[in-house]
Amino acid sequence: MTLVGVCSRSFSRHPTLRAEILARYPQTKFNDAGSSLSGDTLVAFLEDCDKAVIALEPISQDVLDRLPRLQVIAKYGVGFDKLDLDGMREKGIRLGWVPGVNRRAVSELALCFMVTLLRRVAPLSRSVAAGDWSPGVGSQLSSKTVGIVGCGHVGKDIAGILRAMGVNVLAHDIIDQRAYYEAAGIKPATLDHLLRTSDIVSLHLPLNASTKGIISSELLTTMKPGAMLINTARGGLVDELALAEALKSGQLSGAAFDVFADEPPGDHPLFALDNFLATPHIGGSTEDSILAMGRAAIQGLDDNRLPEPGVFPL
């Protein structure tokens, strides 16, 4: 009998997903303790498992070395930066992964951040609660230029939403997508041009060796004065301390992050700033996307393949 371990806390709490995976794999155990699993605790949870469903749990070479029974890892979600793909391939451990399964949830959060910052919703809400009924003047998103950095599944989805609103959209991606840009009414741009001309920059990149720290202290200084920065992709893409300084100085007028280099981020200087919004990595956390991600992970326990650089995952 195949034993499956579900590491994800939100999957483990979801009655529909529990029922559906148990119907396929009766010998499934769940993270009912709600523990954040990593290192020794992750190994202890999975040491008797043949297959695993993981979310943000880090699967390092050391973890893989200590799980000789493990044959398949199914990804609950889309990011794979915490998976040692080379180690999985070397050990013959297969990956179940579906790209873009939560794209609309992440796109809607990015859109929410843009409108909330432009209309000054958070500070005005605090003012009203304090008894101050002074109207504030904001800006309309439809009058802005938004730069999309990373035009994959989520980048394309948010770009389509923005274009439907009449927003001028620039896009930067390492892959040549000229046919898509032309059909979608999107203007391709170099990263430098996008940063210098966009009123809002929205990041939709994976985290890997080429993107880690891509929005550096130096690049932040090249952004359009008064611009805003949105990150609903991955922590580690932005120099967060330099961003705090740019927001303090007024060089940037606002920023909103759903992801951080360290999660939870602890006592971070960004949190003391009125022009910064934060959410606790909830981009894919809607009821709709949780079901979609969970069902994709369940299917990934059976439909999977060895990781192959540049082919799977993309």
Active site (catalytic) residues: 234, 263, 281
As a whole number of angstroms, the distance between CA 253 and CA 248 comes to 9
Contact assessment for residue 94 and residue 208, using Cβ atoms and an 8 Å cutoff: no
Contact assessment for residue 296 and residue 101, using Cβ atoms and an 8 Å cutoff: yes
CA dist 242 to 55, 230, 245, 286, Å?
29, 15, 5, 31
Residue 129 is which amino acid?
Answer: A
- Take residue 248 and report the two structure tokens written for it: 């303090």
CA 158, 159, 162, 164 dihedral sign is negative
**The length of the chain, given as a count of residues:** 314
Closest to 278 in 3D by CA, of 214, 307, 235, 216: 235
- CB 86: neighbour CB atoms within 10 A? 11
What backbone torsions phi and psi does residue 213 show, to the nearest 5 degrees? 70, 20
